[in-house]
A and B are shown apart, each in its own frame.
Chain A
């Protein structure tokens, strides 16, 4: 790790999410429920990145996300990599796997759908990047979704 990247302190144990498209940083934080965590969290964005222009970066100490939690990111940043840190070393890189079902994350874009008219969780079936509402069966593209 060079000095430039040390703008943000290294962590001993936890998860580092690098190369987040800058404007998606807060959505990633929201989807991972970082606001509910008790451990130290660093959120940064608008860092210069050769690949992305500007990138976001999130470091979460003493937290290892479950596959289910990580899969929530598929609707916002499907190509992101999570680095698992133990004793200052990256011991594992986890990618986002798009789940076959998504519950309570994405809004249905059909205003006449029951999920937009009743206090309830949305539920989508996912196939080939298309979300199909479990209730009204309207389809939407996974890249064009609105979060709940």
Chain B
């Protein structure tokens, strides 16, 4: 069997995305199983990311695997000048699958080419974060009952936010209409608008963020506007409170509309929104567990049928 990796979301087919969502649904019904009993999962975090690491490690543990790895690169031989290739080959001797987060772009792709075991990309610099995208897709599907024909509003930092770029590409199969709401300095880059044009994806751009602009949204995907992204700090001061969501702005929202956010949130969603029925960002993070259980099974060659007929479920 060919080795499966989970390195990028861009080349997943429509069928594969729906297949992964269906598998995540099975794990949501029964998250605790022994499908990976006897397996060892390595989590190599060359860049710290507590949230992502805990989610992957929980997924592995709930499937009965054991987990090795490091959360802080300072403790590894990388600091002694070891190459990534050597580290990956060494860990391949021990583990059945490697989950890796790295600050270098393309690191996961390279690791997948040298490693004899499957590689799962848990983020490689500003490049890709496909498991986040998978849980975003699952959250959209779960709250809307479909991925088809949705109005998706992306708000905040659309220039550097890799999650919005990945989501944009993954949604191309499902006839979305995008609305890009951002300050000029952080607008959606040309290459992604070109991507939309090439794939017949409809989009509109807005700099204003108000009740009326977002009234048609099915999904409101919020991101953080970070001070360090601005070359002009005056500009930052001008816009920093413009892209903050509060209950006032949600008055005209459609009943089915849900608010997503890749987290961590700082001030872009007022705390009062947490109790609003449209808020979904905390549950969204919880969906990461089911999406990552599905990713583990897929890369280890366990099919949807096997998951559906699983006799190892712990009730």
Contact = CB atoms under 8 A, between A and B. Distances in A.
Are A and B co-members of a single complex?
A: yes
A120 B88 CA distance: 14
A6 B84 CA distance: 54
Contact of A135 (B83, B85, B106, B126): B106
A118 B109 CA distance: 13
Contacts, number: 46
Contacts of A115: 106, 110
Given A136-B127, A137-B127, A114 B109 contact: yes
A113 B103 CA distance: 10
Interface string B104-117: 11110110000000
A50 interface: no
Given A113-B106, A114-B107, A119 B125 contact: no
Contacts of A110: 105
Interface in B104-147: 104-107, 109-110, 124-127
Interface string A102-116: 000000001011110
A125 interface: no
A133 interface: yes
A137 B107 CA distance: 12
A111 to B, nearest CB: 10
A120 B85 contact: yes
Q: Is the interface of A mostly helix, strand, loop or mixed?
A: loop
Contact of A118 (B85, B124, B126): B85
A63 interface: no
Nearest to B105: A136
B105 A113 contact: yes
Contacts of A54: none
A14 B284 CA distance: 66
Q: Which of B84, B103, B105, B110 has the most CB of A within 10 A?
A: B105
A119 B84 CA distance: 9
A139 B125 CA distance: 17
Given A118-B85, A120-B85, A134 B109 contact: yes
Interface string A86-124: 000000000000000000000000101111011110000
Interface residues of B, number: 15
Contact of B106 (A119, A133, A139): A133
Contacts of A117: 84, 104
A58 to B, nearest CB: 35
A27 B106 CA distance: 28
Given A112-B125, A112-B126, A137-B127, A120 B110 contact: yes
A119 B162 CA distance: 27
A133 B107 CA distance: 12
A113 B104 contact: yes
Nearest to B109: A135
Contacts of A137: 105-106, 127
Nearest to B114: A120
Nearest to B125: A112
B83 A119 contact: yes
Contacts of B127: 136-137
Nearest to B103: A112
A127 B107 CA distance: 23
Contact of B104 (A112, A138, A139): A112
24 contacts: A112-B104, A113-B104, A113-B105, A113-B106, A114-B104, A114-B107, A114-B109, A114-B110, A115-B106, A117-B84, A117-B104, A118-B83, A118-B110, A119-B83, A120-B110, A134-B109, A135-B110, A136-B105, A136-B106, A136-B125, A136-B127, A137-B105, A137-B106, A139-B191
- Shortest 6 CB-CB contacts between residues of A and residues of B: A135-B106, A136-B105, A114-B106, A136-B106, A114-B110, A114-B107
Given A113-B104, A135-B110, 6 more contacts: A112-B126, A114-B110, A117-B104, A134-B106, A135-B109, A138-B105
Interface of A: 110, 112-115, 117-120, 133-139
